[in-house]
Structure 1
Amino acid sequence: MEHGLPDDFTVRTAVGMAIRAPSIHNSQPWRWNVGNRTLHLFADPSRQLPQTDPDGRDLLIGCGAALHHARIGFAALGWQADVHRLPDPAEPDHLASIEFHRRQPTATEVALAAAIPRRRTDRRRHSSWEVPRTYLESMAQAVADEGVVLRVAEDAQRYYLATAIEEASRQHREDPAYRVELAAWSGRHAAPDGVPSWNTPAMDTSPGTLPARPFSDPKLPEASGATSDKDETVLVVLSTASDDRMSRLRAGEATSAALLTATRFGLATCPLTEPLELPDVRRTVEEKVASGTFPQMILRLGWAPANADPLPATPRRDLEDVLTTLDATDLSGERGYQQR
């Protein structure tokens, strides 16, 4: 970048934090381009999962989460990221152009940035400790700051949401193409993407337990003392007023905000999108849980048991595979921003 803007070390550090964002099956469907004055986020459609995510909803949410991670990373490094979302209608994969201005980081931004390398998708059972209501209120505010609504699923709403999760699991079990795709993206040991065996527990068939995706070759043990009959799991739904591409991108940013806030508090978190990947099941969640808004993400929250081992980090692709510098003769990304 030009003099007076973030240097290469800062950009690489912040983008390195951005690619720690969660994505469906750890597919990491993003590309980053560095221009003279701006940084650009692109979707990578080659990493869309056709059976799990046929309409690209999960892809956009994953990219939105990476965008928010980048914003927090730059903020902690002393740079305000001014984001222009979907800057070029002629180039739908161009999701964001980012300009930068010097600004002192806030204590909250530093704390959220520190949560990025600590965040994990924890699919294990939770303990019997209750999640404080004040924590959920803080998450709701962080999500609202991104233009998204967070609802805690309680009573009848929780029943309908649990039913939707079970129905989605049933439909996917009966879909051979989905099962093949899931197997191809899980049970990995040395790949830079996908869901590794050491981050997935065996299927929990205890009565009342919500079904999870049947990832291949699960090797993560449950912590002793984690009993499903005292599981204090909280389910929250993130929803938007519309269901266009902008809404899905913003839902991804809100997902990141919620997850980092929860991690800052020490909570175990797990994004759930399976009920939202099937149109008929998603409509049930929309009508019965999201109060007529458009559900984009479900989060499973709770406290890990006191003796639960820390989870290892899931792998990520090398920075060189996702970050490129725009050639001076081909600044199409920056032209796209200027046209807006």
Structure 2
Amino acid sequence: MTAEIDRRPALRDAADAARYAPSIHNTQPWKWTVHPDRLELHAVTGRQLAVQDPDGHMLLLSCGAALHHARVALAAAGWQVRVERPAGDPLAVLHADRQGAADPAAVELFEQVKARHTDRRTVGDTPLAPAVLDDLVAATERAGARLHLVGRDQLIDLAVIVERAQKTESADERLQEEIAEWVGGERSGGTGIPAANLPAGLPLTTVQERDFGTAGTLPVGEGHDSAATYAVLYGTGDDRVEWLRAGEALNALWVAATAHGAGVLPLSSPIEVGYTRLELRRLIGDLGAPYLVLRLGVLNEASTKPSGTPRLPVDQVIDEAP
């Protein structure tokens, strides 16, 4: 009789790797439970942005990114992974069914997961090659979502949509107070965006970036993002599972971009405001439900890479089941 392999160390390592996934304002709104035979992902509503994200859409995107991080970590360790996405709690259940030799492609993917970061400064003057954009579109589709690349003829329309969303949110005092709780300063609690990860001022860009209402310490960078490519992440559905899958697709796209030396900057404000989300849907030809606007571009190699954003300690995001 063959002895059962203890999966808990591998599942625990995958949950630990998922701590470094991107999340809205670095809220890290997830918690993992390690069982002997499975890994469960739960949403933590206590770290949900109640004013900015009342429907939990950005929370689900964030949890989906963490789910993809954990899947990549298990695949890099040679595990064949099966994922359940139930209608209730937990959000997802990961099963590590069998372990074999690690796939070199999966190991390389995991290296890109670890290298992924967010840079809010302007990108370089070299546009992404068409072959790179094709790869990002393909990576998104393999993960279960779609990517609409915004053409030059749509760029001004997108800029107007984003500007309207920003103005609407800037006028909401409660929302601005909530942002201030998560952004700026040293962020010693393990969550949020510290000043060290923010530009010293808003970059001069055609499509406006989010104004957090506080200055950072990073040099803004030169240029106006004229070589950036903007895209809309979208899908066919608007339910909880679709938003979770969209987060997985976002992370898959981000990992693929990192492998090409490209950066990804999510712009969520036009999704958070109801009427601008409808305008985004029209922009993509009513092909589906928009989940996020993305800026894609070649990272400026001359700029110093921002330091990693803080992370919650293991005992706050990983539980061990009996």
Is the structural similarity TM-score above 0.5?
Answer: yes
Q: CA deviation at 1:108?
A: 2.8
Q: CA deviation at 1:3?
A: 3.6
Within 2, Cα distance between the matches of 1:29 and 1:215? 23
CA 1:93/1:221 → structure 2, altered by over 3 Å: closer, same or farther?
farther
Q: CA deviation at 1:5?
A: 4.0
Deviations 1:30-61 (A, max 9, x none): 01001121110111111110111010000011
Match of 1:218 in 2: 216
Which of 177, 185, 195 is equivalent to 1:180?
177
Within 2, Cα distance between the matches of 1:152 and 1:138? 12
Within 2, Cα distance between the matches of 1:108 and 1:299? 26
Match of 1:243 in 2: 238
Match of 2:137 in 1: 140
- SS of the aligned residue for 1:11 comes to helix
- SS of the aligned residue for 2:306 comes to coil
1:170 and 2:167 matched: yes
Contact 2:209 2:267 in 1 (8 A): no
- SS of the aligned residue for 1:312 comes to coil
Within 2, Cα distance between the matches of 1:289 and 1:157? 9
Within 1, Cα distance between the matches of 2:193 and 2:182? 6
- SS of the aligned residue for 1:195 comes to coil
Match of 1:296 in 2: 291
Match of 1:33 in 2: 33
Q: TM-score, normalised by structure 1?
A: 0.89
Contact 1:126 1:233 in 2 (8 A): yes
- SS of the aligned residue for 2:309 comes to coil
Match of 1:152 in 2: 149
How many equivalent pairs are there?
318
Q: CA deviation at 1:210?
A: 1.9
1:252 and 2:247 matched: yes
Which of 71, 77, 91 is equivalent to 1:95?
91
- SS of the aligned residue for 1:324 comes to strand
RMSD: 1.7
Q: CA deviation at 1:7?
A: 4.1
Match of 2:195 in 1: 197
CA 1:209/1:158 → structure 2, altered by over 3 Å: closer, same or farther?
closer
Q: What code does the residue aligned with 1:49 have?
A: L
Q: CA deviation at 1:134?
A: 0.9
- SS of the aligned residue for 1:142 comes to helix
Deviations 1:51-87 (A, max 9, x none): 110100000110001001100011001112200112x
Contact 1:38 1:97 in 2 (8 A): yes
Contact 1:269 1:300 in 2 (8 A): yes
Q: What code does the residue aligned with 2:306 have?
A: L
Structure 1 residue ranges (4+ consecutive) displaced by more than 4 angstroms after TM superposition: none
Match of 1:332 in 2: none
Match of 1:6 in 2: 7
CA 1:272/1:128 → structure 2, altered by over 3 Å: closer, same or farther?
same
1:326 and 2:321 matched: yes
Within 1, Cα distance between the matches of 2:100 and 2:290? 34
CA 1:146/1:113 → structure 2, altered by over 3 Å: closer, same or farther?
same
CA 1:203/1:222 → structure 2, altered by over 3 Å: closer, same or farther?
closer
Match of 1:330 in 2: none
Deviations 1:320-340 (A, max 9, x none): 11111112xxxxxxxxxxxxx
Contact 1:125 1:231 in 2 (8 A): no
- Once the two structures are overlaid, the 10-residue window that deviates more, 156-165 or 234-243, is 156-165
CA 1:108/1:231 → structure 2, altered by over 3 Å: closer, same or farther?
farther
Contact 2:27 2:47 in 1 (8 A): yes
